[in-house]
């Protein structure tokens, strides 16, 4: 890897669960378990502030379609969950997808502009687990790689961090 190449930092930014009923699932995590979010009862996507890794909910059929054309929401190769690695630069998305492919991963969806305003692509690890590699100009990271920005709000002041 060259000195200017992106590095696949050893962290998971978001675990996204493909859910059947957004209202029910948001209520479960927000109201039942107390996970902090600004999500309303039935948005198209919800993200929760958790320690380090973020938890997101997205309709299962839409999550399958986002991974790759023809990916069935209940078919083989899709367990209803994706892992996301959010990058600090747009160029890092392409570089990390190439890195994953060279390492034995399979590209499910090449990087492209996303309908949510960012840039992302997907690869499957050797066991078929889908990873989204994504970037957005709205995201910020703390030194440990924790994701902030957008609906997650601003990172806490350095003196408030552990």
The domain 14-160 is placed in CATH, from the list 3.10.180.10, 1.10.10.10, 2.40.40.20, 3.80.10.10, at 3.10.180.10
How many other C-beta atoms lie within 10 A of the C-beta of residue 19?
20
Pairing of strands 54-59, 14-19: parallel
Query: Residue 63 is encoded by which pair of tokens?
Result: 């999550």
Region of 83 on the Ramachandran plot (φ > 0 left; ψ -120 to 50 alpha; else beta)? beta
Q: Where are the domains of the chain?
A: 14-160
Query: Tens digits of per-residue pLDDT, 54-76?
Result: 889 999 888 888 887 777 776 65
| pTM over 0.75, yes/no | no
Question: How many residues are there in the chain?
Answer: 162
pLDDT tens-digit series, residues 118-143: 999 998 887 678 889 999 999 888 88
- The per-residue pLDDT for 93 is 96
| Confidence band, pLDDT 50/70/90 cuts, at residue 77 | low
Asked if the model's pLDDT at residue 4 lies above 80, the reply is: no
Q: What gap in Å lies between CA 140 and CA 11, rounded to an integer?
A: 15
């Amino acid at each position: 890897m060259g000195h200017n190449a992106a590095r696949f930092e050893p962290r998971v930014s978001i675990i996204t669960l493909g859910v059947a009923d957004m209202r029910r699932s948001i209520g479960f995590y927000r109201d039942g378990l107390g996970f902090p979010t600004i999500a309303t009862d039935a948005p198209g996507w919800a993200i929760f502030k958790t320690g380090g890794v973020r938890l997101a909910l997205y309709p299962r059929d839409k999550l399958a379609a986002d991974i790759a054309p023809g990916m069935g929401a209940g078919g083989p190769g899709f367990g209803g969950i994706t892992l996301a690695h959010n990058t600090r630069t747009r160029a890092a998305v392409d570089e990390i997808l190439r890195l994953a492919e060279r390492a034995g991963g399979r590209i499910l969806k090449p990087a492209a502009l996303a309908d949510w305003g960012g840039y992302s692509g997907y690869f499957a690890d050797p066991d078929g687990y889908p990873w989204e590699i994504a970037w957005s100009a709205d995201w910020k990271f703390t030194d440990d790689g924790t994701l902030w920005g957008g609906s997650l709000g601003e990172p806490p002041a350095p003196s408030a961090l552990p």
